[in-house]
A and B are shown apart, each in its own frame.
Chain A
Amino acid sequence: MNIVVLVKQVPDSGAERSLAGDGNTVDRTGGTNVINEMDEYAIEEALRLKDETGGQVTLLTVGPDHALESVRKALSMGPDAAVHVSDEAIAGSDALGTAKVLAAALGTLEYDLILSGAESTDGGVQVMPHMLAELLDIAALTGARKLTADGDGFLVERQTEDGYEVVRASGKAIVSVWDTINTPRYPSLKGIMAAKRKPVTAVTLAELGVPAGEVGAAGAATTVLSAEPRPVRGAGQRVEDTGDGGEKLVEYLAAEKFV
């Protein structure tokens, strides 16, 4: 089975993050960038399926030149190759623009399955699998906590707020995964050494036949009108225990939807 895994480099969500000078896009230049956390689970799932069925695992990423660091790190986990779409015209793209680029790149690859994380820690829009399914005319099985190859298709346990749904698609599919699906392996020294020699193909928009005007900030279908920094943390709420402290805590947690 040939699998393409979508990976994205994002600013480290454990560190302080900020918006770029325009006030509306994520600053990707400063600080540390990492592989989007959920994507590591998608890679692990691909490697697990490859161990079962054979075939190739290819990573696909759209991003600036420094995204390559994260691609090398992802390759050290075990995938066979990577495709990196990089073009200045892509900067500022919204989800639809990125989806068009990814779909064009996927059109040049052979695959039975596309895997992705269920969301990214920067944009967090969770729409990419659906957009790609539409553009590629394949099924989208999203939010998986379990994935199995099932005859001519795929069977997925789809995580929901209060349980899970079992969904199946025949033929090619794109599956997005949550972090409940597996435990990603660590890279190894051998993997790090091998990653240096794995092929990473760089492609531009022109090579994919995507008109530059359809992507980037200019081609975006959505616009961020304004953004505000997160409010500074407030004083917090104190619960005095006069015998009913436990109940009050539970009330609070329930009101905040923690329980």
Chain B
Amino acid sequence: MNRYRLLPSDEAAAILELAGDIADRELAPLADDFEERGEFPREAVRVLGRAGLLGLPYDEADGGGGQPYEVYLQVLEVLAYRWLTVAEAVSVHTLACYPLAAFGSSAQRAEYLPGLLGGELLGGYCLTEPAGGSDAAALTTRAVRDGEDYVVNGTKAWITHAGVADFYQVFCRTGGPGPAGVSCVFADASTPGIVPARPERKMGLNASPTAQIAFDDARVPAGRLVGEEGEGFRIAMSALDAGRLGIAACAIGLAQAACDYATGYAKERQQFGTRIIDFQGVGFMLADMATQIEAARQLTLHAARLKDAGRPYGIVAAQAKLFATDMAMKVTTDAVQVLGGYGYVRDHPVERYMREAKVLQIVEGTNQIQRMVISRTMSR
């Protein structure tokens, strides 16, 4: 795959090769079984951590990999090609480290980031609530200052890594209603009063646990407030700008896997005495899949390169998330079609890809919300 990639450095090529090796040897053999049983592959994620792949886009001074976002995203793509759950895990972990890396004080960064980025720990990002999904600024989880602590009460919903994470970034209300009353704290998962519920029974991505988390008088030291009180919503949105690109990269890797699988099948399967890929109806469908994937990849990398250059990139990131995840839904659906009946059963992976693609249109801002973000800027 590297042949068609424009990479910024030799070490970027080496990092991608490393990610590909680990994905091929450590992830691919486990994916079907772990998804079937709904078990989170904690050990496989540790292998990535030990290889230095859990803190790629953050500063070396903070213990990160010092890599441009465009390299990090291509690593995610390579991982998603083999197993979406793991790519998603890296993406969510990277998102959970973002508030501290971008908004933490130098003392907080020095104290916590090397551990968070070191590869042994895994993070969760707690923004969504049962009643506050797309309208995240309506969140009601409260943090009240009491001596040296914040006491947190409320319920978060749909939290990836609930129950398996080592730390959580928690967005909670310290002030009045609306965005201005939101703050961001980060808490050890072992904090008394942080209680993950039973994982949701999802349509796909079953190896990745998603659950509600109850905060019941959970005491978080005041020194773990990230940024100022009231700055939380801005931090959450800034993190999501970057995080959305991670979801786009996951979508591209997933779609590429579906396209490659369908192509391989279409070259083997014969009907009417001909390989089905030689029927124009099938060949053109595959051509469209490959073209849409490449377009999504380039839009996503363009957004990443804007970010790397320090330019505004939020709108392009929203466009990339929207385009790449809608693309992945279409491509994985078409991959099932290429396999016909064989695509609809679990003996081939494409039905799983199709179930997994769906969630990417929902998380980190539904695709309606992406369109809202884009059109709102246009209407100004």
Instruction: Spell out A's residues near B (CB within 8 Å).
Output: 72-73, 76, 186-190, 192-193, 195-196
Given contacts A73-B17, A192-B18, contact A186 B11 (CB under 8 A): no
Contact between chains at B11 and A187 (CB < 8 Å): no
How big is chain B's contact interface, by range?
10 to 19
B-side contacts of A187, CB under 8 Å: 14, 18, 51
Give bound CA distance, A194 to B11, whole Å: 10
6 contacts between A and B (CB under 8 A): A72-B10, A76-B18, A186-B18, A187-B14, A189-B18, A189-B52
* B216 interface contact, C-beta 8 A: no
Complexed CA–CA distance, A196 and B52 (Å): 16
Closest chain-B Cβ to A197's Cβ sits at a distance in Å of 11
Contacts of B17 in A (CB 8 A): 73
- Distance in angstroms from B204 CB to nearest chain A CB is 29
CA distance A190 to B50 in the complex (A): 10
Q: Is B65 an interface residue (CB 8 A)?
A: yes
- A188–B52 contact, CB under 8 A? yes
Task: Report whether B65 and A186 are in contact in the complex, using a CB–CB cutoff of 8 Å.
Answer: no
A187 to B172, CA, bound (A): 40
Known: A186-B47, A186-B51. A192 touches B21 (CB 8 A): no
> Chain B residue with minimal CB distance to A73?
B14
Seed contacts A186-B51, A190-B52, A193-B11; 4 additional CB < 8 Å A-B pairs:
A73-B17, A186-B18, A188-B18, A189-B51
Residues of chain B contacted by A189 (CB below 8 angstroms): 15, 18, 51-53, 56, 65, 67
> What is the CA–CA distance of A15 and B146 in the complex, to the nearest angstrom?
64
What residue of chain A has the Cβ atom nearest to residue B17's Cβ?
Answer: A73
Residue-wise, chain B 62-74 has the 8 Å CB interface mask toward A (1 for contact) of: 0001010000000
Among A72, A193, A195, chain B packs the most CB atoms within 10 A around the CB of A193
Return chain B residues, CB-CB under 8 Å to A76. Answer: 14, 18
> With an 8 A cutoff between CB atoms, is B164 at the interface?
no
Say yes or no: is B22 at the interface (Cβ < 8 Å to chain A).
yes
| Listed residue (A189, A190, A195) with the most chain B CB atoms within 10 angstroms of its CB | A189
A192 touches B14 (CB 8 A): yes
Task: Report chain B residues within 8 Å CB of A72.
Answer: 10, 14
Give A190 to B118 CA distance when docked, in angstroms. 12
- Ranked nearest first, the 6 interchain pairs of A and B with the lowest CB-CB distance are A189-B52, A192-B14, A188-B52, A188-B51, A189-B65, A186-B51
Nearest neighbor of B13 in chain A, beta-carbon distance: A69
Q: Mark B8-30, 1 if CB is under 8 A from A, else 0.
A: 00110011011001100000000
Asked if B22 and A186 sit within 8 Å, CB to CB, the answer is: yes
Kindly state the separation between the CA atoms of A120 and B111 in the bound complex, as whole angstroms.
Answer: 48
Shortest B78–chain A CB gap in Å is: 14
Q: In the complex, what distance in Å separates the CA atom of A72 from the CA atom of B15? A: 12
User: In the complex, A73→B38 CA distance in Å?
Assistant: 35
Contacts of B11 in A (CB 8 A): 192-193, 196
Min CB distance, A208 to chain B, in Å?
Answer: 28
Which A residues are CB-close (under 8 A) to B47? 186
Complex: A149 Cα to B277 Cα, angstroms: 58
The residue in chain A whose Cβ has the minimal distance to the Cβ of B24 is A14
The proximity string for B residues 32-52 relative to A, scoring 1 for CB distances below 8 Å and 0 otherwise, is 000000000000000100111
A195 CA to B14 CA in the complex, in Å? 10
Chain B residue contacts of A190, Cβ below 8 A: 52
CA distance A76 to B10 in the complex (A): 12
Query: Chain B residues near A186 (CB, 8 Å)?
Result: 18, 21-22, 47, 50-51
Q: How far is the CA of A186 from the CA of B24 in the complex (A)?
A: 12
* Least CB distance, B293 to chain A, in whole angstroms: 22
Nearest B residue to A196 via CB reads: B11
Distance of A195 Cα from B18 Cα, bound (Å): 14
Shortest Cβ distance from B364 into chain A, in angstroms?
25
CA–CA, A189 and B65, complex, Å: 7
CB distance from B141 to the nearest CB of A (A): 36
Please, how many angstroms separate the alpha-carbon atoms of A187 and B10 in the complex?
15
A74 to nearest B CB, angstroms?
11
Across the two chains, which residue of chain A brings its CB closest to B26? A186
Alpha-carbon distance between A195 and B13 when the two chains are bound, in angstroms = 13
Q: Which B residues touch A73, using CB under 8 A?
A: 14, 17
